[in-house]
Chain A
Amino acid sequence: MAEHEEHIDEMSSHLAPAGPAILAPGHTFATITDKISAVVLSRDTPAAWLLATGGFGLLMMWLLFATAYQLARGIGIWGVNIPVAWGFAIVNFVWWIGIGHAGTLISAILLLLKQKWRNSINRFAEAMTLFAVMCAGYYPVMHLGRPWLAYWLFPYPNTMGVWPQFRSALVWDVFAVSTYFTVSLIFWYQGLIPDLATLRDRSQSKAGRIIYGILAMGWRGSARHWKRYDSSYRLLAGLATPLVVSVHTVVSFDFAIAVVPGWHTSIFPPYFVAGAIYSGFAMVLVLAIPIRRIYGLDDFITTKHLDNCAKLMLATGEIVAYGYIIESFMAWYSGNLYERYMILDRMGGKYSIFYICLISINVFFVQVLWIRRIRRSPALLFLVSVIVLAAMWLERFVIVVQSLHADFLPSSWAMYYPTFWDITQFLGTIGLFAFGMLMFIRFLPMISIFEIRELLPEAHVSLQEVD
């Protein structure tokens, strides 16, 4: 039997050439499994988790109340009217859906690019995507005015004999966002299956074994299963890659297809996608930095991860800055009276304070990320990320509101002011998002256990036959 000689070359740790590693040294398959699954299986819940869940849970309750109130009263409780009919609802929709994009970028595009550092952050970034898309989806549905008829958006045979208008960008949006949510859910769930099996086998409680057991669907880690699993996982990544680029492109079509000055530009699709990823990475950092601190997961989410996320944020931030420049340039270069007025009003009109804020943050302030010390300092990076999230929200506010408030006819110009309900509903969606994330952290492995195992050098085996 031993005519053949086997050579086992375990790939040496070329994963971490210099600087901080993507996985702290000294870990084995067992320690990785125990450390990550302990967060879920432990009976002790950190006080910070309870506090956060209580606080954000209250905000979420407020969202429920505000929604009920709105269903009773209609969208008149919002500040929207003609000419600014889109207001906070669409600002928040675009902001939330943009945040989701970083999750898909990390899980799909970085997987295809073999960026191994993604293995530590993909799981919770995907969960972030799901909850962000839920918050995003809330707004257009409520904005319908009669949200209980939202199913009219789907083409189903009905007694009225009518169909959705497929030439409308708003119907494209329905398909883009619902597909995005479904595919993100599929990708996330498939990634969870082996880890759910781990939890099933580790759980000490009967309920845990039953629930995780059902969710794991009898996964047993068979080599044949792994092969099909890997194939399907990569296919999903390949499918999610064009999808993620398409979603914010379609969202930008909601604007770019219209004739409103400030919306009708061809830079919008790439500019929206870059802005989405930029704000998404900011949200990844806003979530990752406290999580690694509270749960002591610095071994898995190292400064290398923070550094890489910050670099991606900086790179996409530069694309966004380019978008601002082209937007202004085209307004001048087009020679179009309305476009030119729009950009001058944006810079010096009644909403100019927001424009100045967003430009000074997204174009100038974000350049601090060139400094390595800031990229590697969790506290400073957290601060920069929060500021970036706020600036990206302002960007969407300026695009939606400032463009609409003064269009072709001066007689119809009017200011838009958000109401109490606008503002608190937005805070409510933050509550929903954070509450969802907190539930996810408590009940599911927030870091992909099997993909972290693959980071260990001893996970890589190649048998070479020598005759």
Chain B
Amino acid sequence: MRELPIWGLMAEFTSAADLAIATRRAREAGYRRMDAYSPFGIEAVTEELGFHRTKVPLVCLIGGIFGGLAGFFLQYWIHVLNYPQNIGGRPLNSWVAFIVVTFECTILGASVSALLGMLALNGLPQPYHPVFNVPRFAFASKDRFFLAIQAEDPKFDIHDTFRFLEGLGARDVQEIPN
């Protein structure tokens, strides 16, 4: 990949509605390599970015199934295979008594994988990201809304894209240094 002089351009908006409209306009203009940043989740913006499905529920489901199976077979292996104890002829695989621990392990597996899955799919923890090079970006965690178009987008042209973003009613457009 060739080294680009800048990472992209970033437009700052003052309201969530402006960001949603700007994201739609940018998508309609053909930009694809872009992302929006906001102090809270805005469903309309995510939809406009064309990001409709996440794999987090699947990861969580797999984690839960794995946890549940591991929990049950841990008990089965201990009480039936590895260390069977005949107590008054009661069944070794007393699965009813195993339900609680199986349930707890299911919840544990699913919860841990929901968190780790979310972080992994988001690429977090991430110590460095170019967007933080823009000083105004600190307001993305307060009350400002940002739309960044990456320089590697095929339609990206520093002058055209700059004017395009300005035309969206941005308060300010800045370059994102690499």
A interface list, Cβ under 8 A from B: 1, 4, 6, 8, 10, 28-30, 33, 155, 161-164, 166-167, 171-172, 175-176, 179, 182-183, 186-187, 189-190, 194, 197-198, 200-202, 217-232, 235-236, 239-240, 242-243, 246, 250, 253, 450-451, 453-454, 458-459, 461-463
Contact = CB atoms under 8 A, between A and B. Distances in A.
Given A218-B129, A232-B60, A239-B107, A461 B143 contact: no
B111 A182 contact: yes
Interface residues of B, number: 71
B41 A226 contact: yes
B54 A235 contact: no
Contacts of A201: 138-142
The 9 closest A-B pairs by CB, nearest first: A226-B41, A217-B125, A29-B143, A232-B118, A218-B126, A201-B138, A167-B97, A172-B100, A223-B36
A227 B41 contact: yes
Contacts of B37: 220-223
B58 to A, nearest CB: 10
A210 to B, nearest CB: 11
A176 B100 CA distance: 8
B109 to A, nearest CB: 10
B89 interface: no
Nearest to B108: A179
Contacts, number: 210
A454 B72 CA distance: 41
Contacts of A162: 83
Nearest to B67: A179
Nearest to B111: A183
Interface in B89-138: 94, 97-98, 100-101, 103-105, 107-108, 110-112, 114-115, 117-119, 121-122, 124-129, 131-132, 137-138
A331 B138 CA distance: 65
B129 A220 contact: yes
B128 to A, nearest CB: 8
B16 interface: yes
Contacts of B125: 217-218
Given A166-B97, A175-B104, A246-B103, A186 B40 contact: no
Given A183-B108, A202-B142, A225-B122, A461 B82 contact: no
Given A8-B17, A226-B40, A459-B16, A235 B110 contact: yes
B79 interface: yes
Nearest to B16: A461
B161 interface: no
A223 B108 contact: no
Nearest to A6: B21
Contact of A218 (B38, B44, B124): B124
Given A10-B17, A218-B129, A235 B40 contact: no
B132 A220 contact: yes
B82 A182 contact: no
A1 B44 CA distance: 19
Looking at B25, B111, B129, the one whose CB has the most chain A CB atoms below 10 A away is B111
Contacts of A225: 122, 124
Looking at B16, B82, B104, B112, the one whose CB has the most chain A CB atoms below 10 A away is B104
Contacts of B124: 217-219, 225
Contacts of A194: 39-40, 141
A230 B46 CA distance: 11
A222 B45 CA distance: 10
A194 B138 CA distance: 12
A225 B118 CA distance: 8
A364 B50 CA distance: 57
A187 B94 CA distance: 33
A161 B42 CA distance: 55
Given A179-B104, A223-B51, A163 B83 contact: yes
26 contacts: A1-B25, A4-B24, A28-B143, A33-B39, A166-B78, A167-B79, A172-B100, A172-B101, A179-B105, A187-B111, A198-B142, A218-B127, A219-B141, A221-B140, A223-B36, A224-B49, A226-B41, A228-B122, A231-B57, A232-B56, A232-B115, A232-B118, A240-B111, A461-B17, A463-B44, A463-B48
